Chains A and B, each alone.
Chain A
Amino acid sequence: MADLVLRSGLRARTRARVPFRWSPETTVGAVTVAVVVVAAIIGPLISPWDPNKPDVLAALEPPSLEHWMGTDSVGRDVLTRSLVGTQISLLAGVMITVATVTIGTIIGALVAYAGGWVDAFVSRVVDTAIAIPFIVVVLATVAILGVGTLSVAVGMVVVGWAVYARIARAEVLSLREHEFIMATRSLGYSSPRILFRHVIPNVIRPGLTFATMDVVAAMVVLAAMSYLGFGTQPPVADLGSIIASGQPFLLTAWWISTLPAFILIVLGVGVGMIDDGFSARRKGR
């Protein structure tokens, strides 16, 4: 946020030292993602079909004017269902990422600022968390909390924070001896004030750039878990569970798995392009 404000301030008041241009890549990516997001929000509202209500008489119908992307094995409209699934996947992906970034950054900044044995201890915990294959942790969380979207999300936050903690910690270590941190201390500010008002706003940026890609990663992992049956439970479905439900019919009714998989790919590529555009611009500076 601060970064955005800072950039626009720079544009407005000083001669454009850093020309702010969207690279064509970023634009294409942003438009792609925007189209999918808008479709996911508006589509289910205007669709005549209920995403979760079976209609066995209309099962496995191929794409037609009535059902644009056909129906699944119990006669539900694949398009409507996929768009609702996109909503769930996106929302879960964003929420998981926000949680991991927030928790990770605060922990990382806190321990780096505290230093000493706290830092040493938590850093080893971070190393361990990063070293353990995260799928194992997610499965373990599901085993403890039971299957469901929330369990998978909790599991992903349990592993995911570590990366952001490591990023934030490294940033804080280089920031801590900066003169303005010294200056805040010389003004008699308390440690919590320095940490939350002055340290964290300055270290959040690298974490945030990393986070764009993490949204897609989180969606894919959630989809994978749902595909395996540990994530989103019927009748509600995210993209992964729709793909899974269509798999037995892949040869006879290709349309069931194809559309949600396609949406997932498009979102992934779109976000990837946004991220690429931004990092290319960073490198160019």
Chain B
Amino acid sequence: MNDSQTPDTLLEIDDLRIGFAAKAKDAAATVRGVSLSVRRGRIVGLVGESGSGKSLTCRSIMRLLPEGGHVLSGSVAFEGEDVLGMSRRELLEFRSTRVGMIFQDPFSSLNPTRRIGAQMTEALRASLGISEKDAVQRAVSLLDEVDIPAPSDKLRMYPHELSGGMRQRVMLAIAMGARPRLLIADEPTTALDTTTQAQILRLLRRVRDENGTSILLVSHDFGVIAEMCDEVAVMYDGFVVESGPVEEVYLRPQHPYTRALIASVPTLTVPERGYRRPTIPGPPLGTTAYEGGCPFSPRCPLARPACADVPMTLLPVAPAHVTACPFEGVHA
């Protein structure tokens, strides 16, 4: 995906490496060279299990790495502008108007001590510089857009008075307040029940269709990704192991990890007696130290000695479809 840069590229992450330590020079990378690009109006999925580095990659776009996190190398460009080199002022402006973000846990992503209305108008006034009266009006129409019934009543409520799905809608309304070009959705439906999850996903798609907002959707559920996204990047242990158009990756997965991930998506059929859903064997991510080569090899059913020396560069298998697994025989 590295060479896919065209005029309609919105976000371009190139060879990003992130590590943790008190000082940047001591940090060992946990995100090990991620490249990713998001075009205007596209929904791009970032899929992988816990600890694969997908959230860190997202947070680095906003320069919101947790304490001790450092970008070791690589670049993040938004509309051609270098995000990592922005001054403090530019950064605040960037966060407030050009990118929106929603989070995994709608129960803790709103301030519990302030009313919905106060939190919304504060955000709107800060990003748009409008009057309190206009902000209230805008808040009502934003809540209406995300299908919240009786929006003006909701403004007077506290977060604990709303359900998880409602709160996630409020978050989305706040994030979309300044009509950002990019919405980062970090596991937006993980904490919600299935019905609510479907509603929120539908809403996200509508946001894209109506505003042309690009969405970077993080999930560990390939089912969600397959349904929502135009393109997908599969991450494992800080590497992108495969990426491409979602139908391509879903129907013709090339990397053994991608295949394992797709195989573990539940289906809506009654399984035969004694059926066990395939799981990924071997030590889970983060329990063994990375020692070079392909990080998936300890769990890979097709592993071979040469796996220890795989450079993890992305090799083309079809137009815009790339994988880090170089072994011919593996590619079915």
The binding surface of chain A is classed by DSSP as helix
Contact A177 B171 (CB under 8 A): no
Mark the stretch among A2-10, A71-79, A157-165, A256-264 that contacts chain B: A2-10
Q: Select which of A178, A186, A197, A202 is within 8 A of B122 by beta carbon.
A: A197
Chain B residue at smallest Cβ distance from A17: B160
22 A/B residue pairs, CB under 8 Å, sorted by A: A2-B113, A6-B158, A13-B157, A13-B161, A177-B66, A179-B105, A179-B108, A179-B109, A180-B109, A180-B112, A183-B109, A185-B64, A186-B95, A186-B100, A188-B94, A188-B96, A189-B126, A198-B111, A201-B111, A201-B113, A201-B114, A202-B112
In the bound complex, how far is the Cα of B175 from the Cα of A46, in angstroms? Answer: 61
Report the minimal beta-carbon distance from B111 to chain A, rounded to whole angstroms: 5
Q: Is B247 an interface residue (CB 8 A)?
A: no
Contact A202 B113 (CB under 8 A): yes
Q: Is A64 an interface residue (CB 8 A)?
A: no
- Given contacts A201-B114, A202-B111, is CB(A187)–CB(B123) below 8 Å? yes
Which B residues between 63 and 111 are near A, CB-CB below 8 angstroms?
Answer: 64, 66-67, 91-97, 99-101, 103-105, 108-111
Contact B161 A185 (CB under 8 A): no
Chain B residue at smallest Cβ distance from A12: B161
- Given contacts A10-B160, A115-B67, A188-B126, is CB(A180)–CB(B110) below 8 Å? yes
In the bound complex, how far is the Cα of B126 from the Cα of A156, in angstroms? Answer: 40
Q: Select which of B67, B103, B113, B114 is within 8 A of A183 by beta carbon.
A: B103
Chain B residue at smallest Cβ distance from A188: B96
In the bound complex, how far is the Cα of B91 from the Cα of A187, in angstroms? Answer: 10
**Residue numbers in A under 8 Å from B97 (CB-CB):** 188
Chain B residue at smallest Cβ distance from A177: B66
**How many chain A residues touch B (Cβ–Cβ < 8 Å)?**
26
Q: Is B174 an interface residue (CB 8 A)?
A: yes
Report the minimal beta-carbon distance from B208 to chain A, rounded to whole angstroms: 19
Contact B112 A9 (CB under 8 A): no
Contact A179 B96 (CB under 8 A): no
Chain A residue at smallest Cβ distance from B123: A187
**Residue numbers in A under 8 Å from B160 (CB-CB):** 6, 10
In the bound complex, how far is the Cα of B91 from the Cα of A177, in angstroms? Answer: 20
**Residue numbers in B under 8 Å from A179 (CB-CB):** 103-105, 108-109
**Residue numbers in A under 8 Å from B64 (CB-CB):** 182, 185-186
Q: Is A14 an interface residue (CB 8 A)?
A: yes
Contact A185 B122 (CB under 8 A): no
- Given contacts A180-B108, A185-B64, A186-B101, is CB(A3)–CB(B113) below 8 Å? yes
Chain B residue at smallest Cβ distance from A176: B67
- Chain B, interface size category, equals 35 or more
Q: Is A252 an interface residue (CB 8 A)?
A: no
On A, residues with C-beta under 8 Å from B are 2-3, 6, 9-10, 13-14, 115, 177-180, 182-190, 193, 197-198, 201-202
Using A3-B113, A180-B110, A188-B126 as known contacts, list a sample of 13 further A-B pairs with CB atoms less than 8 Å apart, ordered by residue number in A.
A6-B160, A13-B157, A115-B67, A179-B105, A179-B108, A180-B109, A182-B103, A187-B96, A187-B127, A187-B175, A188-B93, A198-B111, A201-B113
**Residue numbers in B under 8 Å from A201 (CB-CB):** 111, 113-114
**Residue numbers in B under 8 Å from A6 (CB-CB):** 112-113, 158, 160
The binding surface of chain B is classed by DSSP as mixed
**Residue numbers in A under 8 Å from B161 (CB-CB):** 9-10, 13-14
Chain A residue at smallest Cβ distance from B97: A188
Report the minimal beta-carbon distance from A192 to chain B, rounded to whole angstroms: 12
Q: Is B192 an interface residue (CB 8 A)?
A: no
In the bound complex, how far is the Cα of B13 from the Cα of A71, in angstroms? Answer: 85
Report the minimal beta-carbon distance from A197 to chain B, rounded to whole angstroms: 7
Contact B114 A2 (CB under 8 A): yes
Q: Is B62 an interface residue (CB 8 A)?
A: yes
In the bound complex, how far is the Cα of B157 from the Cα of A46, in angstroms? Answer: 47
**Residue numbers in A under 8 Å from B105 (CB-CB):** 179
Most B-side CB within 10 Å, residue of A115, A179, A186, A198: A186
Contact A184 B111 (CB under 8 A): yes
Chain A residue at smallest Cβ distance from B184: A186
Most A-side CB within 10 Å, residue of B95, B99, B100: B95
**Residue numbers in A under 8 Å from B100 (CB-CB):** 186
**Residue numbers in A under 8 Å from B92 (CB-CB):** 188-190
In the bound complex, how far is the Cα of B67 from the Cα of A265, in angstroms? Answer: 49
**Residue numbers in A under 8 Å from B66 (CB-CB):** 177
**Residue numbers in A under 8 Å from B94 (CB-CB):** 188
In the bound complex, how far is the Cα of B287 from the Cα of A128, in angstroms? Answer: 41
**Residue numbers in A under 8 Å from B67 (CB-CB):** 115, 177
**Residue numbers in A under 8 Å from B91 (CB-CB):** 188
In the bound complex, how far is the Cα of B64 from the Cα of A230, in angstroms? Answer: 53
Closest 10 CB pairs of A and B: A188-B96, A188-B95, A179-B109, A186-B101, A188-B92, A2-B113, A179-B103, A179-B108, A201-B113, A183-B109
